Amino acid sequence: MAALFNSTLRSFRELTDPHLLSAQPDRITIHRSQAGETIRSLAESAKSRISAEELSRLNRIAPDQALAAGTLVKLIRPGR
């Protein structure tokens, strides 16, 4: 079994594709809201990879609740 596993690992070639080597993960950023923004509007403007509903769970704020100015909100910024 170990020999099979080792031969499988050795069958991979070195990664040289610059596009794949430069890939970056999504990141959590903190946004200071303006009065009246909502999680839903922020999800759309940030082009978030996760839905407004998922962002609302992350922030524990209803997706359509108007935010007070200065409320700190976690957003997911797409990687490359």
Structure confidence by residue, pLDDT tens digits, 4-54: 888 888 888 888 999 999 999 999 999 999 999 999 999 988 878 889 999
Can you give the pLDDT at residue 48? Answer: 80
Q: Is this model's pTM higher than 0.75 or not?
A: no
Domain ranges, ordered by start, for the chain: 24-80
Secondary structure of the chain as H, E, C letters: CHHHHHHHHHCCCCCCCHHHHCCCCCEEEEEECCCCCCHHHHHHHCCCCCCHHHHHHHHCCCCCCCCCCCCEEEEEECCC
What type of residue sits at position 62?
Answer: A
